[in-house]
Amino acid sequence: MLFRNRFLLLLALAALLAFLSLSLQFFHLIPMSAARNGASSKSRKRIMPDPVTEPPVTDPVYEALLYCNIPRVAERSMEGHAPHHFKLVSVQVLIRHGDRYPLYAIPKTKRPEIDCTLMANRKPYHPKLEAFVNHMSKGSGSSFESPLNSMPLYPNHALCEMGELTQTGVVQHLQNGQLLGDIYLKKHKLLPSDWSPDQLYLETTGRSRTLQSGLALLYGFLPDFDWKKIYFRHQPSVLFCSGNCYCPVRNQYLEKEQRRQYLLRLKNSQLEQTYGEMAKIVNVPTKLLRAANPIDSMLCHFCHNVSFPCTSSGCFDMEHFKVIKMHQIEDEKERRKKRLYLGYSLLGAHPILNQTIDRMQRIAEGRKDEVFALYSAHDVTLSPVLSALGLSEARFPRFAARLIFELWQDREKPSEHSVRILYNGVDVTFHTFFCQDHHKRSSKPMCPLENLVRFVKRDMFVTLDSSSTNYHDACHREGV
């Protein structure tokens, strides 16, 4: 009996770990062959390549730096670009929260000493930082759906709590907000100067880091942040699927994907040896160390330039870090081949994409509310959306990543609307499943809204398996 209980406990623990590791194993997504036209993955470039700095072979340290997304001064961005006879009519923004403290502690070591209070004399800094703190401290409880109204509106612990947003995270989103405000409000006048609360749609998961990230972005974005005009809805699911979360086939894909990950890990003897060495340093069983997800903590050390943890038996070092990251890269290569994650993603991302096109269609019909929508979310939200759109060559969502859906109206043919998709400032519209062949078939410079609508309502299920044409059937299909 005792043995059996222990076995069940271990099973549960293994399942939990698999889930946690899934959310942290996607540090960069590598090209996946296109779903239907079978284009070779070799011919597809990864999104966000920078010909000046991109190293010729995958470099785990370079990838980790991109992931940290340390705020720099100049950022190139392609948001808000269209031929002059197009008018911007709606923008929807899906973000990952900014830089945060680790979610797990490495056993028997001191947690990294990072200060999560916001201070003007600390880097990185943003000119709106003090005004942000000042404004947040006067926050209004009526601006939030429960349970968000009980949460702190900005990070404030001298030793960060687990998962807390850092100053870097706040600055990343102040910067995102300011960049988008300059483009969408100053240049394109998306909101009138006397905008009303129902022109914004704001939604966040119930974590302080997502709520605070959303607030920082909005504070950077709006010229007049007025608490009376702000209302954040609470989203209980990281997939933003509320009301449509029940989908057994999606869970089956996820279980198979986790099993694939587990088997691949067992095959990597260098990885096992590395975990073994690290476990010796902290003097705990290897299983326990792996369970603490050391790469998450090590990334925090790395992004904040704090040396890796040590004990009297030695230190974690860059070689350990590189081995774990290289394994993640191998893992993604295999994941792309097996396509189980694509199945999970198509079903997991459908509800939020459905909500996105629904809002676009209402605007296209002439409605004027919810012209700007912000969803403040997690890596496990953005990854499936990217993959479902066909952007699996995009990198894993870095801190403060942003995915944007723009809707444009053709002034010359006002009934025609077009979409643009941007990931971290890069126009990826013509990499998506629904518009990758557009140039071959049409001379229009922009991707028609109908393409995205047809994809979300029907084609995404056909991509998954040709017998289902709607969400309900695809979620309840037998024998995956």
Ligand X SMILES: *[C@@H]1O[C@H](CO)[C@@H](O)[C@H](O)[C@H]1NC(C)=O
Single-letter amino acid, residue 258: Q
- Quick one: 53 or 305, whose CB is closer to ligand X? 305
Q: Is 471 in the site for ligand X (CB under 6 A)?
A: yes
Minimum CB separation from ligand X for residue 16, in Å?
28
Minimum CB separation from ligand X for residue 309, in Å?
15
- What string marks each residue from 259 to 298 as x (binds ligand X by CB under 6 A) or -? ----------------------------------------
Output phi, psi for 388, to 5 deg: -65, -30
Tell me which residues in 335-364 interact with ligand X (CB under 6 A). 350-351, 354, 358
- Quick one: 180 or 377, whose CB is closer to ligand X? 377
Minimum CB separation from ligand X for residue 124, in Å?
11
**Judged by CB under 6 A, which of 305, 312, 415, 466 binds ligand X?**
305
- Quick one: 58 or 354, whose CB is closer to ligand X? 354
| Angstrom distances, CA of residue 84 to CA of 80, 88, 410, 446 | 11, 10, 9, 12
- The distance in angstroms from the start CA to the end CA of the chain is 34
Q: Is 75 in the site for ligand X (CB under 6 A)?
A: no
Minimum CB separation from ligand X for residue 457, in Å?
8
- Quick one: 37 or 305, whose CB is closer to ligand X? 305
Minimum CB separation from ligand X for residue 350, in Å?
6
Pairing state between β 413-423 and 447-448: antiparallel
Minimum CB separation from ligand X for residue 297, in Å?
17
The SS3 assignment for 395 reads strand
Which of 350, 360, 342 has the alpha carbon at shortest distance from 475?
Answer: 350
- What string marks each residue from 197 to 236 as x (binds ligand X by CB under 6 A) or -? ----------------------------------------
| Angstrom distances, CA of residue 451 to CA of 5, 89, 402, 472, 479 | 52, 18, 22, 21, 30
- Quick one: 198 or 358, whose CB is closer to ligand X? 358
- What string marks each residue from 420 to 449 as x (binds ligand X by CB under 6 A) or -? ------------------------------
Output phi, psi for 23, to 5 deg: -70, -15
Three-class secondary structure assignment of 332-392: HHHHHHHCHHHHHHHHHHHHHHHHHHHHHHHHHCCCCCCCEEEEEECHHHHHHHHHHHCCC
Q: Is 311 in the site for ligand X (CB under 6 A)?
A: no
How many alpha carbons lie under 13 Å from residue 3 in its C-beta half-sphere? 0
Q: Is 112 in the site for ligand X (CB under 6 A)?
A: no
In the chain, helix, strand, coil percent, each to 5?
A: 45, 10, 40
Which burial class, exposed, middle or buried, applies to 349 when counting CB atoms under 10 A from its CB (0-12, 13-18, 19+)?
Answer: buried
- Quick one: 319 or 358, whose CB is closer to ligand X? 358
**Judged by CB under 6 A, which of 33, 178, 242, 244 binds ligand X?**
244
- Quick one: 25 or 356, whose CB is closer to ligand X? 356
- Quick one: 223 or 243, whose CB is closer to ligand X? 243
> For residues 471 and 465, what is the distance between their CA atoms, to the nearest angstrom?
12
Residue with tokens 């043919």: 413
Total interface residues for ligand X by CB under 6 A: 7
How distant is the alpha carbon of residue 197 from its chain centre? 26
The SS3 assignment for 66 reads helix
Minimum CB separation from ligand X for residue 397, in Å?
22
Q: Is the peptide bond before 414 cis (omega within 30 degrees of 0)?
A: no
Structure tokens at 391: 């952007």
**DSSP assignment, residue 128?**
T
The catalytic residue positions are 97, 379
Q: Which residues contact 133 (CB under 8 A, 6 or more apart)?
A: 118, 154
Minimum CB separation from ligand X for residue 471, in Å?
4
Q: Note the residues at the interface with ligand X (CB under 6 A).
A: 244, 305, 350-351, 354, 358, 471
